[in-house]
Amino acid sequence: MVLQFMTTHFSPSYRIDVYPKGFKPLLIAEKGVVLYKGGNIYYYSLQKKKYKFLIRIPISLKWRLFSKSRILTRIFRLEPRGVVVANKIIYFGLKGKLFSLNLSDRKSVISKSFRKNMNSPLYLTRIKNLHGFSDGIAYGEYFSNPHKKSVNIYYKPDGCSWQIVYTFPQGVINHVHNMIPDYNNNTLWVLTGDDDSSSRFWKAKNHFQFMKPYNKGYQKFRSCVILSYKQGLVWPTDSPEQRNYVYWMKYMQEDFENKNIITSAERYPINGPVVNAVVLNEKKAFVSTTVEPKFSKYKLKYLLSKKTADGIISPNCIVYKIQLNYNNIRVDNIVSLKKDILPGGLFSFGNIDFPVMLSDNINGVFIYVNSCSPYDGRMIYLHEKE
């Protein structure tokens, strides 16, 4: 694979549609897109090409007013994160609250509040028909935690209230990145970070009664997403200060319980750390790299720095398409957008996000651009050419 570092690059295999600024896509349905803008929820019809107001989110007047400014939206991180859908209810995190949206009756409520200094989980996870688990949604706490305070996993069984189902004791991890059902192996993968000892894949079974680290802690296992298939695992790394790769590991044995991570797993270089991803099926996913500043213990220096972290090769956010089958994996660069000139610590990292894809009939992928020129704050539809 050859890395391409163009200022703006779209693969010729895709046709692009660029949409008006400020509408962040939350999910893609069969005929339209559910979007967020300025504290409100909208629906965009892909056929009629029209926007329709749906719901007003119960956020404070302060955040609602700030949301009218793109710059303030970036500074105060005023857009949803961790979107998931369960039983036709949309859940997402925003400014320390977990919101739920019922599009049928057009109501939005605050489902719960997060712990102090936590804005939102990186991901909310839908768990359905996974052996050993009741159907529901879950998240792990994600917050700045350099002293490794205890970290909780919350679970909401369908029709029930939120409950703590597992707690990582003090001194074990910094936070939880993601939890991913693995239907091939009847396991829930729990991905944690950020320092070496915290960066692990954990196997959860039997509704978190079994929780065991699958590997030793290294930056190689600092990740926000896993693609699981019968023969092994694929994951991109999320390491701002070290070189990043997409790893492809094949299992050594047929018995999953005895399988070990292979230290010689194949790897494919990528431009920087991966936080955002959308998995379309067992054989195809899209991931994107971030552009973030080099860490400094001095907060003001970090906020205003334009120097990128050491693990970032170029100041471009890149979308990679990952395709795999039994014998090989392919990693292709399909989009490259340059981080804009505003410091990422204060004005938000450069990143490209993906909405939840509910439709199987979308021939391509939707993306949402943050802090990259010239498409900051815009949704783009990448049509895959036949």
Q: With beta carbons less than 8 A apart as the criterion, state whether 348 and 364 touch.
A: no
User: What pLDDT is recorded for position 24?
Assistant: 98
Locate 228 and state its tokens: 């699981």
Characterize 225-260 residue by residue with b for buried, 16 or more Cβ atoms within 10 angstroms of its Cβ, and e for exposed.
bbbbbeebbbbbbbbbeeebbbbbbebeeeeeeebe
**DSSP helix/strand/coil, 244:** strand
Nearest partner of 34 among 66, 73, 1, 80, judged by Cα: 80
> Which of the residue ranges 249-263, 279-293, 306-320 has the most confident prediction, judged by mean pLDDT?
306-320
CA distance 265 to 252: 11
| Whole-number pLDDT of residue 3 | 39
pLDDT at 260: 52
118 close to 105: Cβ distance less than 8 angstroms: no
What is the spatial distance between Cα 58 and Cα 210, in angstroms, rounded to a whole number? 38
The pTM score is 0.93
Tens-digit pLDDT profile for residues 315-338: 999 999 999 876 788 999 999 999
What single-letter DSSP state applies at residue 291?
A: B
Q: Is 30:43 a contact under the CB 8 Å cutoff?
A: no
Residue 231 is predicted with a pLDDT of: 72
Residue 241: which of 192, 175, 307, 303 has the closest Cα?
307
Determine the topology of domain 8-122+224-384 in CATH: Methylamine Dehydrogenase; Chain H (2.130.10)
How does pLDDT run across 145-189, given as a tens digit for each residue?
999 999 999 999 999 999 999 999 999 999 999 999 999 889 999
- The backbone torsions φ and ψ at residue 176, rounded to the nearest 5 degrees and listed phi first, read -100, 130
Domain boundaries, the chain: 8-122+224-384
In 3-state terms the chain splits into helix, strand, coil percentages (rounded to 5) of: 10, 50, 45
The pLDDT score that the predictor gives to residue 257 is: 55
The CA distance from 182 to 204, in Å, is 10
Residue pLDDT, tens place only, 290-303: 999 999 999 999 99
Amino acid at 10: F
Q: Cα–Cα distance between 13 and 176 in angstroms, integer? A: 36
Determine the Cα–Cα distance for residues 180 and 190; give it in Å rounded to an integer: 7
Query: How big is the chain, counted in residues?
Result: 386
Is pLDDT larger for residue 259 or for residue 221? 221
Residue 5's pLDDT is what?
44
**pLDDT classification of 255: cutoffs 50, 70, 90:** very low
| Interval 191-212: pLDDT, tens | 999 999 999 999 999 999 999 9
Q: How confident is the model at residue 359 (pLDDT cuts 50, 70, 90)?
A: confident
Output the CA angle 352-357-359, nearest 5 degrees.
Answer: 145
For 28-57, give one letter per residue: b (16+ CB within 10 A) or e. Answer: bbeebbbbbbbbbbbbbebeeeebeeebeb
Return the ∠ at Cα 170 (arms to 169 and 171), rounded to 5°.
115
pLDDT tens-place string over residues 76-101 = 999 999 999 999 999 999 999 999 99
The residue-averaged pLDDT of 268-276 equals: 97
Chain centre distance of CA 142: 12
Does residue 253 sit in helix, strand or coil? coil
Euclidean distance between CA atoms 364 and 188, whole angstroms: 28
Cα–Cα distance for residue pair 283/215, rounded to 1 Å: 24
Tens digits of residue pLDDT in 42-53: 999 999 999 999
Q: How far apart, in Å, do the first and last CA atoms of the chain sit? A: 22
Per the listing, tokens 């359905």 go with 128
* HSE-up (13 A, CA, CB side) for residue 227: 26
In whole angstroms, what is the distance from residue 69 CA to residue 318 CA? Answer: 26
| Of the candidates 187, 139, 147, the residue with the CA atom closest to the CA atom of residue 165 | 139
What percent of the chain lies above the pLDDT cut of 90? Answer: 82
Question: Any bridge partners for residue 247, and if so which?
Answer: 235, 267
Residue 232's pLDDT band (cuts 50, 70, 90) = confident
Banded model confidence at residue 2, pLDDT cuts 50, 70, 90: very low
